[in-house]
A = this chain, B = another copy of it.
């Protein structure tokens, strides 16, 4: 059965690893074997640390249980520094770059027994120019971005867990396009040290897996907050639908997913209500774009000044646009965001979470771009916890889903309700 180990959930694998029913070596070999058979098609990895991972697995098998992630192989988005694997940030400028230290979350998860299996492809500096990764569900389609390799590797059963990060929609969109669970925590929950900085007020580290309990386990290990794993729901959750100001961007498949969710909620006895966001929130989409491009033009100042010829035309344009955002626009955008953050909890009213679109629809049938981040930008700017749930299929059979969004800092509620909803949505 070892050849199927790579398809099990992290939660199940963890149980078996702790009981020593399976060894970390077996599991790593199963993942490596899957990578070997599929990587040429999928292109999820920049680097696979096969030998190092096996020798670490052996250590873990021979020693005591080290923590929550004991023996679990993890994909590390190549935006995260690693001291023992090259780190390119998705740019040729950094080919062969070897940081001296691991990103904080890499160290913290290693401390919990995780095995860093390799570096997964990111778009160029986690912006919009794709890497080599294809959508494992259909190789002609984009996996989304920027956490392209992480999402593809998890979806393709190459690894049960992978790190991601989101400045616009880089956790939620690739999760949606690849049909897995993505969790972007509340802003500030996860330590960002050692991850390439793009926009200080937007960058948020996140987690990809194939189930809600798996992202919860991963996040608990990264943050030390074991409460994130308590997913039992004691009463019917208070959920609203939120079509958002960006709703006109949703295509038929996402509209269908919202309708499907409404039916499931009704069936579960949840009154189907719409959360109407304040009118001022309509400006948040542009505010996020202004803040992100303004910050990028500065965060990547060195690359812009010294390596302009090695940047993609798309990124050069984005940085040039960032230099055109005036200080007044930037300040106004930040003020709007600040005001909206102060209003959003009240806007939630009695509801614990809202269900909103994750993406326009199915993954676009292209490898030239990673799809539209339109449904991620505002929630990222608001800093709220988001969990993508892959419960539906689009017109052509590709994955579609919705995201659960919680109040700021109420990540436990968001994950709990997400787990409950996922169960309902899949079984209706």
Contacts from A to B (Cβ < 8 Å): 83, 93-94, 97, 100-104, 106-108, 110-111, 188, 191-194, 196-198, 200-201, 224-225, 295, 298-306, 327, 334
Contacts and interface: CB of A to CB of B under 8 A. Distances in A.
Contacts of A110: 305
Nearest to A103: B302
B188 A200 contact: yes
B193 A197 contact: yes
> Chain B CB within 10 Å — which of A100, A197, A224 has the most?
A100
Contacts of A224: 327
Given A100-B94, A306-B83, A327-B225, A108 B298 contact: yes
Contacts of A107: 301-302, 304-306
Nearest to A87: B100
Nearest to A101: B302
Contacts of A93: 100
Contacts of A188: 200-201, 334
Nearest to A301: B107
B102 A302 contact: yes
Contact of A299 (B104, B295, B299): B104
Nearest to A409: B331
B197 A301 contact: no
A300 B201 CA distance: 21
Nearest to A96: B100
> Chain B CB within 10 Å — which of A83, A295, A298, A302 has the most?
A302
A93 to B, nearest CB: 8
5 contacts: A106-B302, A107-B304, A107-B306, A108-B298, A224-B327
Nearest to A302: B101
A97 B101 CA distance: 11
Contacts of A302: 83, 101-104, 106-107, 194
Given A104-B301, A193-B196, 19 more contacts: A94-B100, A101-B302, A101-B306, A102-B301, A102-B302, A103-B302, A104-B298, A107-B305, A107-B306, A111-B305, A188-B200, A191-B299, A192-B197, A192-B200, A193-B200, A193-B298, A193-B300, A194-B302, A224-B327
Contacts of A100: 93-94, 97
> Chain B CB within 10 Å — which of A83, A110, A224, A298 has the most?
A298
Closest A-B pairs by Cβ, 6 of them: A107-B301, A193-B299, A101-B302, A193-B197, A191-B298, A107-B302
A275 B304 CA distance: 46
A126 to B, nearest CB: 13
A224 B327 CA distance: 8
> Chain B CB within 10 Å — which of A97, A300, A301, A306 has the most?
A301
Contact of A101 (B191, B192, B303): B303
A110 B102 CA distance: 29
A228 to B, nearest CB: 10
A100 B302 CA distance: 9
Nearest to A226: B327
Contacts of A334: 188
Contacts of A193: 196-198, 200, 298-300
Nearest to A106: B302
A414 B224 CA distance: 40
A46 to B, nearest CB: 16
A225 B328 CA distance: 10
Contact of A194 (B83, B97, B104, B197): B197
A171 B100 CA distance: 27
Contacts of A104: 298-302
A198 to B, nearest CB: 8
A65 to B, nearest CB: 18
